[in-house]
Every structure is written in C-alpha cells, then in structure tokens.
C-alpha cells in the first residue's frame, strides 16, 4: 500500500547537506517526493512510497550523519500524488 507523509525536521539541518541526504535516502529506498529548506531554519519534506518501508526511511532521516543533527522530526499523513515519479530538492 502506498502512503505519503509530510515531515518537518528541526536541528542542524541547513548548511550541512541534509536535503541531499534526504533525497539520497528516499531515492535509495524507492520513495518519491520533495525536500525544502524553510526560512525558520527547519526543513520540510513530503515522501511517498510503500507503507512497510516508511519506518526504515524515518529512522534513516532521524539518524542523520556526522554533520546532520536532527533534534525533532514530525510526520503527518497526507494525500498521495499518483502521478509523481521522482524525488526532488526544492529551492
């Protein structure tokens, strides 16, 4: 079953390659969607993919890497976008 979630990440998530990290993780796991920096220093995203794979993607994003530190990560379900075929970084 396909699902889509809107997410918001807070912490050291801008200027550290977080958007590219999310894009890579999502693409590696077969998710579509987008990720975008926000003026308040947070990063928002929407990810769409197989429901059973979503917990692993959430964990990967929350864990970050040596430069990224996610201190808060919130998710809300939203409507799927059937025609979406890729994952993009929005400016």
What positions carry a catalytic annotation? 19, 37
What letter would DSSP give residue 31?
-
Gap between the Cα atoms of 23 and 28, Å rounded: 8
Residue with tokens 């918001």: 8
């Amino acid at each position: 079953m396909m699902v889509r979630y809107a997410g918001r990440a807070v912490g050291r998530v801008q200027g550290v390659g977080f958007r590219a990290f999310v894009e890579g993780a999502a693409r590696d796991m077969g998710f579509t969607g987008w990720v975008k920096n926000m003026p308040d220093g947070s990063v928002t995203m929407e990810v769409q993919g197989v429901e059973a794979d979503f917990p692993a993607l959430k964990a990967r994003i929350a864990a970050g890497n040596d430069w990224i530190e996610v201190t808060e990560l919130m998710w809300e379900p939203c409507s799927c976008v059937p025609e979406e075929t890729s994952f993009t970084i929005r400016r």
